[in-house]
Structure 1
Amino acid sequence: MPEITATGNNATLFNSGVMVIQPSNCTFQLLMDHINEITSYNGGDQGYLNEIFTWWHRIPKHMNFLKHFWEGDNEAVKAKKTELFGADPPILYVLHYLGLKPWLCFRDYDCNWNNPVMREFASDVAHARWWKVHDKMPDNLQSYCLLRSRLKAGLEWDRRQAEKANFDDGHWRRNITDPRLNTCFEKFCFWESMLLHWGEKNQKNSNAVPATRSSS
Structure 2
Amino acid sequence: MPEITATGNNATLFNSGVMVIEPSNCTFQLLMDHINEITSYNGGDQGYLNEIFTWWHRIPKHMNFLKHFWEGDDDSAKAKKTELFGADPPILYVLHYLGMKPWLCFRDYDCNWNIPLMREFASDVAHARWWKVHDNMPEKLQSYCLLRSKLKAGLEWERRQAEKANLEDGHWRRNITDPRLTICYEKFCYWESMLLHWGEKNPTNNNPVPATRSSS
Bigger relative CO (Cα 8 Å, ≥ 6 apart): 2
Name 1:80's counterpart in structure 2: 80
Is 1:52 matched with 2:57?
no
Is 1:97 matched with 2:67?
no
Mapped partners of 2:31, 2:6: distance in 1: 18
Mapped partners of 2:199, 2:9: distance in 1: 36
Secondary structure at the counterpart of residue 66 of structure 1: strand
Aligned residues with identical type, % of pairs: 90
Q: 1:134 to 1:9 in 2, by over 3 A?
A: same
Amino acid at match of 1:167: L
Q: Deviations over 1:65-110 (max 9, x none)?
A: 0000000000000000000000000000000000000000000000
State whether residues 114 and 172 of structure 1, in contact with CA within 8 Å, keep that contact through their aligned partners in structure 2: yes
Q: TM-score, normalised by structure 1?
A: 0.91
Secondary structure at the counterpart of residue 20 of structure 2: strand
Mapped partners of 1:166, 1:155: distance in 2: 16
Name 1:204's counterpart in structure 2: none
State whether residues 108 and 177 of structure 1, in contact with CA within 8 Å, keep that contact through their aligned partners in structure 2: yes
Deviation, 1:2, is 5.4
The 5-angstrom pairing of residues 118-129 of structure 1 reads: 118-129=118-129
Secondary structure at the counterpart of residue 117 of structure 1: helix
Q: Deviations over 1:107-139 (max 9, x none)?
A: 000000000111000000000000000000000
The 5-angstrom pairing of residues 33-182 of structure 1 reads: 33-182=33-182
Q: Deviations over 1:23-66 (max 9, x none)?
A: 00000000000000000000000000000000000000000000
Q: Deviations over 1:168-200 (max 9, x none)?
A: 000000000000000000000000111123147
Mapped partners of 1:199, 1:130: distance in 2: 30
Mapped partners of 1:46, 1:154: distance in 2: 27
Runs (4 or more) in structure 1 with deviation over 2 Å come to none
Name 1:186's counterpart in structure 2: 186
State whether residues 2 and 56 of structure 1, in contact with CA within 8 Å, keep that contact through their aligned partners in structure 2: no
Mapped partners of 1:170, 1:80: distance in 2: 23
Mapped partners of 1:139, 1:147: distance in 2: 15
Q: TM-score, normalised by structure 2?
A: 0.91
Secondary structure at the counterpart of residue 66 of structure 2: strand
Amino acid at match of 1:96: H
Deviation, 1:3, is 1.4
Mapped partners of 1:16, 1:196: distance in 2: 40
Amino acid at match of 2:29: Q
Name 2:197's counterpart in structure 1: 197
Amino acid at match of 1:85: F
Mapped partners of 2:195, 2:28: distance in 1: 45
